[in-house]
Amino acid sequence: MCLGIPVQIKELMDDNLGRAALGDVEYTCDLSLIEDPKVGEYVILHAGYAIERLDEEEALETLAMFAEIEAAAAAEGE
């Protein structure tokens, strides 16, 4: 039930609402729980609400660490 998906904010509308996209699919998204949302930012969408923003820098750092582990494993396997 706590599933949430990363979506990108496409449009800000009145009343703290907005449009957000996952690939080609767009959702109406309640942005009330996010401080100062901006178009282009990624947020986690849960039950129609953006519950937190996704920090792209941190996301890439984590991915880089996974790539390092993969590279280390490959080097060991050679």
Partner 1 sequence: MKYLDEYRDGAKVRALARAVSDAVDPGRGYAFMEVCGTHTMNIARYGIKRMLPDNVRLVSGPGCPVCVTPQEYVDRAVALARLDDVTIATFGDMMRVPGTGASLTDAKAEGADVRVVYSPNDAVDYADGERERRVVFLGVGFETTAPTVGRALTRADERGLGNFYVLSAHKLIPPAMAVLCESEDLALDGFICPAHVSAIIGSGAYEGLVERYGTACAVTGFEPLDILRGIQLLVEQVNEGTARVDNEYSRVVKPEGNPRAQAVMEDVFEPADTEWRGLGTLSASGLRLKERFTGYDAFVIECEVEETRVDGRCICGRVLAGAAEPHDCPLFRVECDPEHPVGACMVSSEGTCAAYYKYEQ
Whose tokens are 């609402």? That residue is 17
For 34, other C-beta atoms within 10 Å of its C-beta total 20
The yes or no reply on residue 1 touching partner 1 (CB under 8 A) is yes
Phi, psi of 52 (to 5 degrees): -170, 155
What backbone torsions phi and psi does residue 34 show, to the nearest 5 degrees? Answer: -110, 135
Using CB under 8 A, which residues numbered 12 to 31 contact partner 1? 22-23, 30
Decide: is 11 part of the binding site for partner 1 (CB under 8 A).
no
Show contacts with partner 1 in window 28-67 (CB under 8 A). 30, 32-35, 42, 44, 46-49, 51-56, 58-59, 61-63, 65-67
Check if the beta carbon of residue 31 is closer than 8 Å to that of residue 42.
no
**Contact footprint for partner 1 (CB under 8 A):** 1-6, 8, 22-23, 30, 32-35, 42, 44, 46-49, 51-56, 58-59, 61-63, 65-67, 69-70, 72-74
